[in-house]
């Protein structure tokens, strides 16, 4: 039996889940974006207490590796690495776009999402990158990636090669800004969540696909840039 603590903090949503053998058994989430550092530790403690599980019983910690917010990713990954180091358990990293696709697929199978001709659609998860930019990647209905992760400034021409051939299904916290520009797509309500990590993390752990705790870094996609202030200091 594998017990995996799942942490996703790459957006305004702080999401922590607990899974057993790839099935989510408990979840805590908050959309108070500035409280990730406090909430992630609080949620972990609550989940373990609620399920009467000691931290030493965990098989691994899974973390959403990005792309996403620099600060959010750093908080989640740092917490996960510290926990893994202290407990001497493996760290499993899952792409944040992959995990959103997993949520969409599970919700469709459960009948929560109703999209015609599901097997023929192209799934387009998006993470907000501010202004009209998003981090995104295309997947088929089975969850297999069709291209590389990229930063895209959304215009009427965006994703035209996909939209011309198949129905595009857009979701994630970057989707709202696309509605007026890409009005031929289908929009579904799926946001970044630790529940998307459960099955994928279990698969990776079983396959031995774990990270080096000392050297693992989040997938920021773009470098974090500090813009110097134009104000003169006295």
pLDDT for 121-161, tens place per residue? Answer: 999 999 999 889 999 999 999 999 999 999 999 999 999 99
Q: Pick the closest to residue 176 from 166, 159, 189 (CA basis).
A: 189
Count how many domains the chain has: 2
Peptide bond into 146 cis (omega under 30): no
Q: What percent of the chain has pLDDT over 70?
A: 94
Please tell me whether residues 48 and 11 are part of one structural domain. yes
Please tell me whether residues 47 and 162 are part of one structural domain. no
Note the pLDDT of residue 34: 76
Q: What is the CATH number of the domain that holds 55?
A: 3.30.420.40
The predicted model scores a pTM of 0.91
Please tell me whether residues 88 and 159 are part of one structural domain. no
Rounded CA gap, 118 and 18, in Å? 29
Note the pLDDT of residue 231: 54
Please tell me whether residues 150 and 197 are part of one structural domain. no
Please tell me whether residues 83 and 132 are part of one structural domain. no
pLDDT for 2-13, tens place per residue? Answer: 999 999 999 999
Please tell me whether residues 90 and 105 are part of one structural domain. no
Give the containing element (helix H, strand E) for 83.
helix 70-87
Please tell me whether residues 111 and 91 are part of one structural domain. no
Handedness of CA 207, 212, 217, 221 (dihedral sign): negative
Q: What percent of the chain has pLDDT over 90?
A: 88
Q: How far is the CA of 82 from the CAs of 85, 87, 89, 223, in angstroms?
A: 5, 9, 10, 23
pLDDT over threshold 80, residue 223: no
pLDDT for 92-127, tens place per residue? Answer: 999 999 999 999 999 999 999 999 999 999 999 999
pLDDT for 36-81, tens place per residue? Answer: 999 999 999 999 999 999 999 999 999 999 999 999 999 999 999 9
Please tell me whether residues 106 and 183 are part of one structural domain. yes
pLDDT band at 222 (very low <50, low <70, confident <90, very high): low
Q: What is the CATH number of the domain that holds 181?
A: 3.30.420
Note the pLDDT of residue 234: 47
Q: Is residue 106 part of a domain?
A: yes
Domain of 31 in residue numbering reads as 3-96+193-206
- Give the angle subtended at the CA of 190 by the CAs of 166 and 66, to the nearest 5°: 95
pLDDT for 194-221, tens place per residue? Answer: 999 999 999 999 999 999 999 999 999 8
């Amino acid at each position: 039996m594998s017990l995996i603590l799942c942490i996703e903090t790459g957006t305004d949503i702080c999401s922590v889940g607990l899974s057993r053998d790839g099935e989510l058994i408990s979840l805590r989430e908050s959309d108070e974006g500035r409280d990730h550092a406090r909430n992630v530790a609080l949620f972990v403690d609550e989940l373990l207490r609620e399920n009467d599980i000691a931290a030493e019983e965990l098989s691994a910690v899974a973390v959403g590796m990005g792309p996403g917010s620099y600060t959010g990713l750093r908080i989640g990954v740092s917490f996960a690495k510290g926990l893994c180091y202290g407990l001497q358990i493996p760290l499993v990293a899952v792409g944040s776009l992959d995990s959103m696709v997993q949520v969409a697929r599970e919700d469709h199978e459960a009948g929560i999402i109703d999209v015609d001709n599901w097997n023929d659609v192209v799934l387009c998860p998006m993470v907000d990158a501010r202004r009209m930019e998003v981090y995104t990647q295309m997947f088929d209905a089975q969850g297999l990636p069709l291209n590389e992760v990229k930063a895209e400034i959304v215009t009427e021409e965006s994703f035209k090669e996909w939209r011309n051939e198949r129905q595009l299904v857009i979701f994630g916290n970057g989707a709202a800004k696309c509605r007026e520009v890409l009005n031929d797509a289908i929009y579904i309500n799926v946001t970044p969540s630790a529940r998307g990590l459960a099955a994928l993390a279990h698969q990776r752990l079983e396959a031995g696909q774990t990270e080096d705790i000392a050297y693992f870094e989040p997938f920021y996609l773009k470098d974090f840039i500090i813009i110097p202030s134009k104000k003169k200091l006295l």
